[in-house]
Amino acid sequence: MTVISADDVLAARERIAGRIHRTPLVRSRALSEMTGYEVFFKAENLQKTGSFKIRGACNKILPLSEEEGRRGIITASSGNHGQAVAYAARLCGYSATVIMPEGGSPVKAASIKDYGAELLFCGTKSGERIALAQKMCAESGAVFVPPYDDPFVMAGQGTVGLEILEDLEDASAVLVPTGGCGLISGIAAAIKEKKPDTAVFGVEPEGSASTGISFRAGKRTALDHINTVADGIRTTIPGELTFPVVQKYVDDMLTVTDEDVIRAQLLILERCKLLAEPTGAVAFAALLRGALPEKFRGKRVVSLISGGNVTLRQLADCIRAR
Ligand SMILES: *Cc1c(COP(=O)(O)O)cnc(C)c1O
């Protein structure tokens, strides 16, 4: 038994309907010709807050009782999850605190503040921030919203998978950028219980491939060093709750280089006018390097653009780095 099933994802979909955007599935003729697959993009870069993370955050926060919510919401992530939690908390009328690393990105801090959350700065390691969050929750009764290792968060992220099946019933494969595995565990549970013939692949940069290594080892395995341009998935180990779902449902894990990722990001922008952050381009990078098994040639393949939160300055750096 895993912690979520397709039914939980269906329930999440009902719960968050109307609070999030129904994002489009976009076919690219130019990139299909270039890669030899029939390429579709699921455009979660166009989602509220700029990434899919709002789905999990809403699915976690909406079912809280008034009394629980009034004690406040806490998270320890400075990136897309922090923005999503700040947004979802405000939507429900609850106060949120986001614990950021000392010296964290001022752009991200400003955007989390814009969504109405309070900022606290603590340490440089995620372990220190999570410890502080847990201490605060124990003292005040506030609710901690984990970035991936939570059944409500996982089910919320899985709603992306239901939308993909609705828009492209005969998809041969779905490719998902993978960090702590909240996103891929939700998507895989939804897709594999409804359409087992559709393959689900996770994609990671070589310098941050903890899930691929764990998948092959058959057990959660930590990396002691992370090196990738994809800042949304710098995770050293897959989640405790998410990893068994990955083992049960995911077909395989693929890797790409940072060079593939930047090339993918710029091609998606140039050819499809969709702005992905580097992490958001990781799935398409696997198609560019032809990493799928041969039987998928010419087949309908969905590449998830998981987020688009990138500043023009960062984008200029990516263009220069090419
Ligand atoms: C969080 C994130 C991911 C990975 O999600 P996990 O649930 O940690 O695997 C991928 N892309 C973007 C843009 C993200 O913000």
Residues 234-269: tens digit of each pLDDT = 899 999 999 999 999 999 999 999 999 999 999 999
Name the β-bridge partners of 99: 120
Mean of all residue pLDDT scores within the chain: 95
The residues, any chain, with a CB within 8 Å of residue 17's CB and separated by 6 or more, are none
Q: Region 281-309: what's the mean pLDDT?
A: 97
Ligand 1 site, residue 177, Cβ cutoff 6 A: yes
**Same domain, yes or no: 128 and 96:** yes
Q: Give residue-wise pLDDT tens across range 266-287.
A: 999 999 999 999 999 999 999 9
Read off the CATH number of the domain in which 205 is found. Answer: 3.40.50.1100
- On the question of pLDDT at 104 being above 80, the answer is no
Tokens 């005040």 — which residue?
140
**Same domain, yes or no: 161 and 15:** yes
Q: How far is CA 37 from the centre of its chain?
A: 23
How far is ligand 1, taken at its centre, from the CA of residue 67, in Å? 30
How far is ligand 1, taken at its centre, from the CA of residue 93, in Å? 26
**Same domain, yes or no: 246 and 97:** no
Domain residue limits at 257: 6-51+150-321
By the 8 A CB rule, do 165 and 136 touch? no
User: What gap in Å lies between CA 157 and CA 202, rounded to an integer?
Assistant: 14
How far is ligand 1, taken at its centre, from the CA of residue 148, in Å? 9
Task: Please tell me the predicted confidence (pLDDT) of residue 101.
Answer: 85
- On the question of pLDDT at 78 being above 80, the answer is no
Ligand 1 atom nearest the C-alpha of 180 is 8
Last residue of a domain, which of 109, 144, 179? 144
Residue 109: pLDDT band by 50, 70, 90 thresholds? confident
- On the question of pLDDT at 322 being above 90, the answer is no
**Same domain, yes or no: 121 and 183:** no
Question: Which one has a higher pLDDT value, 306 or 125?
Answer: 306
**Same domain, yes or no: 171 and 22:** yes
**Same domain, yes or no: 270 and 289:** yes
User: What gap in Å lies between CA 191 and CA 88, rounded to an integer?
Assistant: 26
The answer to whether residue 1 is domain-embedded is no
> Measuring CA to CA, which residue among 235, 322, 251 is closest to residue 291?
251
Determine the residue of 49, 52, 154 to mutate for testing ligand 1's pocket, defined as the one with the most ligand atoms within 8 A of the Cβ atom: 52
Task: Please tell me the predicted confidence (pLDDT) of residue 293.
Answer: 96
**Same domain, yes or no: 312 and 244:** yes
User: What gap in Å lies between CA 139 and CA 103, rounded to an integer?
Assistant: 26
Tokens read off for 63: 């079912």
Task: Please tell me the predicted confidence (pLDDT) of residue 244.
Answer: 98
Tokens read off for 149: 């290792």
Q: Give residue-wise pLDDT tens across range 192-248.
A: 999 999 999 999 999 999 999 999 999 999 999 999 999 889 899 999 999 999 999
User: What gap in Å lies between CA 107 and CA 129, rounded to an integer?
Assistant: 19
- On the question of pLDDT at 108 being above 90, the answer is no
Q: Region 158-175: what's the mean pLDDT?
A: 97
Ligand 1 site, residue 182, Cβ cutoff 6 A: yes
% residues pLDDT > 90 (the chain)? 88
Residue 77: pLDDT band by 50, 70, 90 thresholds? confident
Question: Which residue's CA is minimally distant from atom 7 of ligand 1?
Answer: 182
Task: Please tell me the predicted confidence (pLDDT) of residue 125.
Answer: 80
**Same domain, yes or no: 140 and 154:** no
